[in-house]
Amino acid sequence: MDQRQGILENLEMTLFADIYRGKRVLITGHTGFKGSWLTLWLSELGAQVTGIALAPATTPSHWQLLELPVDDAPLDITDAASLAAELQKTQPEVVFHLAAQPLVRRSYRDPLETWSTNVIGTANLLEACRHCTSVKAIVVITTDKCYENREWEWGYRETDRLGGHDPYSASKAAAELVVGSYRQAFFAKAGAPLLASARAGNVIGGGDWSEDRLIPDIVRAVSEKTVLKIRSPGATRPWQHVLESLSGYLLLGQKLLEEQQEFAQAWNFGPEADGNRTVEDVLIRLQKAWPAISWSVAGGELPHEANLLHLDSAKAKSRLGWCPVWPLEQTLTATAQWYRSYVENSAVISAAQLRAYIDAANAAGLAWTR
Residues with catalytic function: 168
Question: Environment class of residue 205 by beta-carbon count within 10 Å: exposed (0-12), middle (13-18) or buried (19+)?
Answer: buried
CB of 1 closer than 8 Å to CB of 64: no
Distances (CA, A) of 63 to 30, 31, 55, 155, 201: 8, 5, 10, 32, 22
Find how far residue 259's CA is from the centre of its chain.
23
Residues 6+ apart with CB under 8 A from 77: 28, 52, 83, 99, 117, 121, 122, 124, 125
Q: What's 144's DSSP letter?
A: G
- Which of 33, 252, 52 is closest to 138 using CA atoms? 252
For 72, the enclosing helix (H) or strand (E) is strand 71-74
Residue 77 and residue 178: Cα distance in Å, rounded?
A: 15
Pairing of strands 276-278, 236-241: antiparallel
Residues 6+ apart with CB under 8 A from 92: 24, 25, 26, 50, 132, 134, 135
Residue 339 and residue 237: Cα distance in Å, rounded?
A: 21
